[in-house]
Structure 1
Amino acid sequence: MMAESPIRLQLRTERRDEEFAKEDQPIGDFTFNAKVADVFDDMVSRSVPYYEEMQRMVCELAQDFAVPNTNLYDIGCSTATTLLTLDRMINPNVTFIGIDNAPDMLEKAAQKIEHADARRPIDLKVVDLHQGLHMENASVVTMLLTLQFIRPLFRERVMKMIFSGLNDQGCLLLVEKLTSEDTAFNRLFI
């Protein structure tokens, strides 16, 4: 019998996402609040095609670029799934910094980190990317499905700030949804 992948173990939650199945729920803007944070791992693993595979590939690539005595940033770290997976794969002398703009998501991330027995401290920071971002000494930056939540007007500035914080030979591992002019292709990936 094959062992369950570490990423799948990370994504398993006690509570299945049924937040948006309620019929009497008022319609409003989606927010990463405490209710969403509580079921986020289940929500994202079921709603993003190939999410587990995406996590696996990003973590394998990060291994090739992470350098001891540098920083690894996860921008839009949500509940720390990527950071916790990387924790077992990356040299313990790499400092991990998780950035998110949703305090409830970071609270859930802190709980997961505490229960996961991480090999290193993981610094979690509330940052509104629209207000700016300071990074330094980065050998790896991951940004998974985050750019879409940054207003288009600010995206170029955020990317320049990331670039300015990257060391020579550092990398940005960016995963994002995209659309195509081919509607059949869009339907396949949506």
Structure 2
Amino acid sequence: MTKKALHIVLETERRDTVFGQDEPPVGDFSFNAKVADVFDDMVSRSVPHYEEMQRMVCELALDFASPNTRLYDIGCSTATTLLALDPVLDPSVKFIGVDNAPDMLEKARQKIAQTGTQRPIELQTADLHKGLYMENASVVTMLLTLQFIRPLYRERMMRMIYSGLNEQGCVVLIEKLTSEDTTFNRLFIQHYYDFKRRNGYSEIEISKKREALENVLIPYRLEENIQLLRETGFKHVEVFFRWYNFCGIIAVK
């Protein structure tokens, strides 16, 4: 996948002003219609090296996807990853996108229709805290999703993924991290906010979004994510991307 290909998927999105100065106060962050309408701009301006991470996910998926199996994108949001994977993987691989936000899935349907892809892409609404049935999967992607699942339910979710994966299948995670070392944690967060400022977010927007996410996005330490994968049963676990408090992890069954 080229950067141009990802840009085509994103170019119709509106600019994110959800947490702007003139916007009304918000409670806990929610993937509602207002967020869905600007989500692609939001994530591209809020996640460092977002396009490169998508490209790497496509490369890794190609390494492990087998013909006549399934690829699940858990927390598929507006289908950016599924559409990036579409031209890369064998046509016999069935794509299934799962999300708990109907507004995000509606945006995903619109984007899929606009691309004119010939691959059937199934979209499912599911409460990830209640679990998910999967089968015949060679690849599972969870990009910036596990961090939104309450810690009490993360082990169960990972075991369901492991159960649904075929031997030599993989799960690809992108996660925001926290650090046990308070000095590094403070510095990494500071550099992350600098990144958001460079992308046009104001101090008010950064502050309001931080407050909205406080009880919703609960990051693990890198060691905790790796331990979760290993205790689930994954034989091989490796970090493939790292930028301050963001990382990509791949685990193979």
TM-score range, shorter chain: over 0.9
Q: How does 1:109-124 map to 2 (within 5 A)?
A: 109-124=108-123
Structure 1 equivalent of residue 50 of structure 2: 51
Shift of 1:186: 3.9
Q: Taking structure 1 as reference, are residues 165 and 4 closer, same or farther at Cα in structure 2, changes over 3 Å only?
A: closer
Equivalent residue for 2:125? 126
Unaligned segments of structure 2, at least 5 residues: 194-253
Percent identity at matched positions?
Answer: 68
Q: Which amino acid aligns with 1:81?
A: T
1:31-180 aligned at under 5 Å gives the runs: 31-180=30-179
TM-superposition CA deviations, 1:31-79 (whole Å, max 9, x none): 1111111110001000111111111111111011111110000000000
TM (norm. structure 1) is 0.94
Q: 1:104 to 1:184 in 2, by over 3 A?
A: same
- The CA distance in 2 between the partners of 1:24 and 1:85, in whole Å, is 32
Q: Which amino acid counterpart does residue 79 of structure 1 have in structure 2?
A: T
In 2: Cα distance, 1:4 partner to 1:163 partner:
31
1:136 and 1:4 map into 2 onto residues whose CA distance is 32
- SS where residue 21 of structure 1 aligns? coil
| Aligned residues of 1:34 and 1:105 also touching (Cα < 8 A) | yes
Residue of structure 2 aligned with 1:188, choices 191, 194, 204 = 191
Structure 1: runs of 5+ lacking an equivalent: none
On the 8 A contact 1:32/1:105 being kept in 2, the answer is yes
Size of the aligned set, in residue pairs, is: 188
* Equivalent residues of 2:13, 2:40 under 8 A apart: no
Following superposition, the deviation at residue 24 of structure 1 comes to 4.6
**Alignment partner of 1:131: what SS?**
coil
**Which amino acid in 2 is paired with 1:144?**
L
**Structure 1 residues 187 and 158, CA, compared in 2 at 3 Å: closer, same or farther?**
same
Is 2:3–2:51's contact at 8 Å kept on the other side of the alignment?
no
2:4 counterpart residue number: 5
CA gap 1:62/1:21 in 2 versus in 1, 3 angstroms: same
Return the TM-score normalized by structure 2: 0.71
Are 1:88 and 1:119, in contact at CA under 8 Å, matched by a contact in 2?
no
Residue type of the alignment partner of 1:188 = H
User: Which stretches of structure 1, 4 residues or longer, exceed 6 Å deviation after superposition?
Assistant: none
Separation (CA, whole Å) in 1 of partners of 2:106 and 2:12: 15
- The one-character-per-residue Cα deviations of 1:128-187 (angstroms, maximum 9, x if unpaired) are 011111000000000000011100000011000000000001000111011222132343
